[in-house]
Amino acid sequence: MELSFKGMTALVTGAAGGIGRATVGVLAGQGSRVWALDRVGLEQEGVEVLTGDLRGGVLLEEAIARAGRVDVAVLNAGICRPAELEQTTAANWDETIAVNLSAVFHHLQRLAGVMKKQRGGSIVITASTNSFDGEAGLIAYNASKAGLLGIVHTAANELGPYGVRVNAVCPGLIETPLTREAFDRPEVIQPYFAALPLGRGGQPEEVARAIAFLASDWASYVTGATLFVDGGQMAAKFGTWTEEKAEFAGGRWRLKPEP
Ligand SMILES: NC(=O)c1ccc[n+]([C@@H]2O[C@H](COP(=O)([O-])OP(=O)(O)OC[C@H]3O[C@@H](n4cnc5c(N)ncnc54)[C@H](O)[C@@H]3O)[C@@H](O)[C@H]2O)c1
């Protein structure tokens, strides 16, 4: 069986960003009609674009009304506003929870009705490695991403009987506009990547392909799952790379040639 979305309709939120844009590309490339939702516009041939704020659900309603059916929904929009615990303002907390967690809940609730009626569908939510472990300075973000796991697990239970699958992809550090600043600072990424078995950051397409897998019929027996796309980050305990055996160049670790 070929991985294909031919004849399907997919909806992607956060579609103008790094991971969202790559996901739109992969789904459209595999034959899906794609509805791209973001507050920032994008131009992609053969893709229907809806621009505006996702909060409030107006954009989703418009996409559902115009698309007619939704076979695949990728709930991917997210924001990250770093601040230490005591410096995190109520506004920061509220906005982060509203976009990353509450909007996903409201979208999922609406899509559940649509997909139950269709007796089928697949939803992929972009969570994070930060859904599982701590990272200082990101309390609102981490709480929002941890909350998504509760959503995924519960929705998988409720929607499974209707043939609707709900899964999460959990990216590690991926090179997108969200993380541009980190990637531009070798003093940040060199020690970060030294802890990763694959010794480098990820590219948006590498997450998009995992999303496409979870969304597709190739994952027909997968629901309630969390798939790490993190270069091995969550499998690593003591770090991987040392300067004795490897060198950091071009933004990644590589083994030195054998003597
Ligand atoms: N890049 C990473 O390293 C990484 C790691 C783990 C998880 N993630 C998650 O992946 C998802 C995509 O991240 P990315 O790195 O592509 O970021 P990005 O900033 O490139 O893209 C996010 C997109 O969401 C859109 N968006 C945000 N709030 C919105 C709103 N209220 N209404 C409409 N659109 C809105 C933005 O306009 C942007 O285009 C996010 O949920 C993020 O938390 C990213």
Average pLDDT of the chain is 97
Which tens digit of pLDDT belongs to each residue from 120-149?
A: 999 999 999 999 999 999 999 999 999 999
Do the bridges between strand 33-38 and strand 252-255 make them parallel or antiparallel, or are there none, so unpaired? unpaired
Q: Within a domain: residue 24?
A: yes
**Overall domain count for the chain:** 1
228 pLDDT more than 80: yes
Nearest CA to ligand 1 atom 2: 174
pLDDT given at position 258 = 83
Q: How far apart are CA 181 and CA 187, in angstroms?
A: 11
Looking from the CA of 243 toward its CB, the CA atoms found within 13 Å total 2
Ligand 1, residue 201: give the atom nearest the CA. 3
160 pLDDT more than 80: yes
Q: Within a domain: residue 4?
A: no
For ligand 1, the distance from its centroid to the CA atom of residue 19, given in whole angstroms, is: 7
For ligand 1, the distance from its centroid to the CA atom of residue 157, given in whole angstroms, is: 27
pLDDT (mean) for 14-40:
98
For ligand 1, the distance from its centroid to the CA atom of residue 174, given in whole angstroms, is: 11
Residue 170 is part of a domain; what is its CATH number? Answer: 3.40.50.720
One-character DSSP codes across the chain = -----TT-EEEEESTTSHHHHHHHHHHHHTT-EEEEEESS----TTEEEEES--TTSHHHHHHHHHHS--SEEEE-------B-GGG--HHHHHHHHIIIIIHHHHHHHHHHHHHHHHT-EEEEEE--GGGTS--TTBHHHHHHHHHHHHHHHHHHHHHGGGTEEEEEEEE-SB-STTTHHHHT-HHHHHHHHHTSTT-SPBPHHHHHHHHHHHHSGGGTT--S-EEEESTTGGG-SS-S--TTTEEEETTEEEEPPP-
For ligand 1, the distance from its centroid to the CA atom of residue 150, given in whole angstroms, is: 20
**Closest alpha carbon to 2 in 22, 30, 32, 34:** 30
223 pLDDT more than 80: yes
Q: Within a domain: residue 250?
A: no
pLDDT given at position 34 = 98
Which tens digit of pLDDT belongs to each residue from 182-222?
A: 999 999 999 999 999 999 999 999 999 999 999 999 999 99
- As annotated, the active-site residues are 141
Ligand 1, residue 55: give the atom nearest the CA. 31
pLDDT given at position 45 = 86
Which tens digit of pLDDT belongs to each residue from 42-101?
A: 998 889 999 999 999 999 999 999 999 999 999 999 999 999 999 999 999 999 999 999
pTM for this entry:
0.98
Q: Within a domain: residue 255?
A: no
Nearest CA to ligand 1 atom 21: 17
Q: Within a domain: residue 218?
A: yes
pLDDT given at position 65 = 97
Which residue segment(s) compose the domain that 77 sits in? 9-179+200-234
Task: Give residues (CB < 6 A) around ligand 1.
Answer: 14, 16-20, 38-40, 53-55, 76-80, 99, 126, 128, 171, 173-174, 176-179
Q: Within a domain: residue 21?
A: yes
Q: Are 168 and 227 in contact (CB under 8 A)?
A: yes
Q: Within a domain: residue 2?
A: no
Mutate which of 101, 178, 200, 230 for ligand 1? The one with the most ligand atoms within 8 Å of its CB, which is: 178
Q: Within a domain: residue 252?
A: no
